[in-house]
Amino acid sequence: MLCARRLGSLAAGLAALRPGRAARGSLGAGIQARRVSTSWSPVGAAFNVKPQGRRLDLFGERRGLFGVPELNAPEGFYIAQEEALRKTELLVERACSTPPGPQTVLIFDELSDALCRVADLADFVKIAHPEPAFREAAEETCRSIGTMVEKLNTNVELYQSLQKLLSDKKLMDSLDVETRRVAELFMFDFEISGIHLDEEKRKRAVDLNVKILDLSSKFLMGTNFPNKIEKHLLPDHIRHNFVRDGDHVVVDGLHAEAPNDLVREAAYRIFLHPNASQLKYLEELLSNRDLLAKLVGYSTFSHRALQGTIAQKPETVMQFLEKLSDKLCERTIKDFEMMRQMKMKLNPQNSELMPWDPPYYSGVIRAERYNIEPSLYCPFFSLGACMEGLNILFNKLLGISLYAEQPAKGEVWCEDVRKLAVVHESEGLLGYIYCDFFQRADKPYQDCHFTIRGGRLKEDGDYQLPVVVLMLNLPHSSRNSPTLLTPGMMENLFHEMGHAMHSMLGRTRYQHVTGTRCPTDFAEVPSILMEYFSNDYRVVNQFARHYQTGQPLPKNMVSRLCESKKVCAAADMQLQVFYATLDQIYHGEHPLRKPTTDILKETQEKFYGLPYVPNTAWQLRFSHLVGYGAKYYSYLMSRAVASMVWKECFLQDPFNRAAGERYRREMLAHGGGKEPMLMVQGPDLLSATFIFSNHTDKITKPFKSHHVL
């Protein structure tokens, strides 16, 4: 999952749940290769040993988070925020006084960068830092920067400085394609923010946007809060499966893989029990999004959100989802019947298939048919081996190597965070990836990618290197073994690294369209493509070695694993169709015709097939409604595109350097600077409608659910 949220026209990359695009290869020629650091070490070894901690240094300078000097204490966020706002005022004055031309776009992009460099970082820290003081300071900074962004989006004088450029045809024709597109994107963001409205309505639009940001933050936090229940209400024999807190037990998830049916049922009913405050946040969030959309001229929030995407409009999305659901229907029914039979075999007293059953029973069926017990695979997938596998793949495909680098004191928020330098064989240092891979208390249980700083070509000719964070939830190493990954964890690692490499290789001139800042239904393509590599024996054979014996993973084990993914794949994908449809309905016509829970019940029974469980409200845990509002279908769409890229470029040879360079040049290297349709067009791929109508077969293949609820 990609974390990057758009805060209006000037903050195209705030960390929340979005993907992006890459940059022009031609820029590389003007960027000096950076020297190789002697402090770098091999990536595989760095991840298979415990961090030794920092050497005792009583007098060394504490650099601050991500090397930002101000952020050596929570108060530093206020300093960074005020400096960004001060710089913003100067750049606004400069933009409004500069004659229209290419310089106008550069100033707008510098303005975007000044705000994003603080907001992106704060957006990550507010959810991931272990210290409450840092999280609270970052939250306040997000609110302040977000408010400024929305004010700028409705600043008439600033808008007019850009409008002068866009209305001058001769000037626009003289601009290169990327500069012209970035100018149009800035204008587009003004328009969807209500710049055309009168002053009173513009102020109303700002207020709504700020309120939506606040509600989004509150709702997102609530999606992860555990629920408590008095322990005497649970049967004695299952209490030990949950954390105890005095006279209560704490349920912090669905326990979807628990072999005991009663444990899964209890977790489902308790964790998804409705919370009045969370329901209020969701209802207000949906209502305010609809009010904003209508205020700025759209019939629904979905119509507004889908502007600029491949789909373009919600009608196309619903056509796509309904057609996909029809294609899946028969196979889904067969999958559910298989699961029912397995449940009857293991639990004859209660064989009705319920929503808490599919993850467990589909896993049992896979294991029984193909002998793919995760414990058989884990010894071959040490974290270090998997990282070395990624290193080998990137080196062969793209001439890129990953090196571990020791962070400075205060640079990382937890001692087990690793820092990677991404280095090209001829272009030098491309950027940095901070790997926050391990479980810890209060860390969100989500695998995702955060943009911390976007890349851009600076006025002095240097390139501002991108910085990202990958956040996973892997187990720590033990005294006797390194961190060992299940096949699913390994695939997730490859998926998230696809986002990271997109950020590294999206070397656009403008920060506004760098790396993973692109239409959402194109954003997951690079990450899903990496899943194909993770399931190809030719790739896996390069790195999967038993951590004790060095024995390679037998080919038949990889074959069994790949075959097993076809089991119950239709039901897995049908679940995604249900989520995407629910998202569209919630962001469609308002007022909603029914309460959100009634809509959930109705949609679940129509698009999934398993019964709704009374007194549950799964939608209150649907965190993607924040970052992927009206765009959850994007996972399914991106899978279709990734399938085409794999078949055309890498199916014959996953290490083909020419194909890798073509993939970088034609897809990764354009960032948001090129229309997605222009990057994926081929003789059989002519329009968005054609893709959505005729390529559902490309995604009715084994699909890995990234959202486990």
Question: Under DSSP, is residue 421 helix (H, G, I), strand (E, B) or coil?
Answer: strand
Question: Under DSSP, is residue 72 helix (H, G, I), strand (E, B) or coil?
Answer: helix
In terms of C-beta density within 10 A (0-12 exposed, 13-18 middle, 19 or more buried), how is residue 522 classed? buried
In terms of C-beta density within 10 A (0-12 exposed, 13-18 middle, 19 or more buried), how is residue 236 classed? exposed
The answer to whether residues 416 and 435 touch, using CB atoms and an 8 Å cutoff, is no
What contacts 24+ positions apart, CB below 8 Å, involve 557-564?
Answer: 557/372, 557/376, 557/377, 560/370, 560/371, 560/372, 561/370, 561/372, 561/377, 561/487, 561/535, 562/535, 562/537, 563/370, 564/366, 564/367, 564/369, 564/370, 564/372
| 477's tokens | 């190493």
Residue the block writes with tokens 């397995």: 342
Helix ranges (DSSP H) in 587-633? 596-607, 624-627
The total number of residues written for the chain in this structure: 709
CA distance 181 to 177: 6
Cα torsion 156, 161, 166, 170: sign: positive
**Helix and strand totals (H; E) in the chain:** 27, 12
CA distance 186 to 386: 40
Query: Which position among 139, 265, 496, 531 bears the catalytic label?
Result: 496
CA distance 234 to 255: 15
The answer to whether residues 672 and 12 touch, using CB atoms and an 8 Å cutoff, is yes
| 182's tokens | 């970035």
405 is catalytic: no
Q: For residue 591, is the peptide bond before it cis, meaning its omega torsion is within 30 degrees of 0?
A: yes
Phi and psi at residue 435, to the nearest 5°:
-105, 100
| 437's tokens | 């891979």
Strand 428-438 with 418-424, pairing: antiparallel
Q: Catalytic site residues?
A: 496
